[in-house]
Amino acid sequence: MFEIVSSGGVVMIFLLVLMALAMMIVGERFWSLRDKEIIPKELPAQVIDWSKKKHLDHKHIDQLAATSPLGHLMAVALRKRDETREQIIEAVEDAGRHLSHQLEKPLNWLHAIGEVAPLLGLLGTVIGMMKVFANIMEFGVGNANQLAGGISQALTTTAAGLIVAIPAVLFYRHFKNKISDQTIVMEQQVMQLIDSISQEKS
């Protein structure tokens, strides 16, 4: 394994760093985007119960906002409960856009890794081929050992760049879709809360 890595030259160091960074981001997103962290199942019923029992003081709402992203959106709706339905929905939509941005922000790095890794692999390929041609000019084509090092670097870095990039892109799309699905669920549950608030006003 060490021989394969070392044959890739300096470029392999950067690719290994990108691989480690990608693995850290993927692990962190798997942990942070768990459904029970984003959209706790018991929360909507609890909040609607609070609303019906008039337990909507600042303390309860602040605690709700700190529980989860869903709790944050529900807290926004509850803070605007004395305004019109349209104003409540507008405030929730604005908060939802900011929330989605925060959830997706770490994925920008994953996307960047998916784009940069193949380019680094290509750079390693170019460097390896330059070594091959330099050796040909110096020793001719008769010495295979002199050519093998450059060819090995070219092939190793190309493969390594793809090995890093392909999972990064796949996980990026997976997490984007997961956030999109969770956002739809949050919107549905907050709308139920807004409906409950509207019914209490009427």
Query: Tens digits of per-residue pLDDT, 2-31?
Result: 555 555 567 888 999 999 999 999 999 999
Q: Which residues of 10-46 are buried (b: 16+ CB within 10 A; e: fewer)?
A: ebbebbeebbebbeebbeebeeebeeeebbeeebbee
Q: Which residue has the tokens 């981001």?
A: 25
Mean pLDDT of the chain: 84
Give pTM, 2 decimals: 0.83
Would you state the structure tokens that stand for residue 113, as one six-digit string? Answer: 């890794």
- Supply the angle between the helices 69-79 and 43-52 in degrees, to the nearest 10: 20
Give the per-residue pLDDT at 182: 93
Q: Which helix (H) or strand (E) holds 97?
A: helix 85-104
Q: Are 190 and 77 in contact (CB under 8 A)?
A: yes
Q: Which residue numbers in the chain have pLDDT < 70?
A: 1-9, 54-55, 132-150, 152-153, 201-202
End-to-end CA distance of the chain: 71
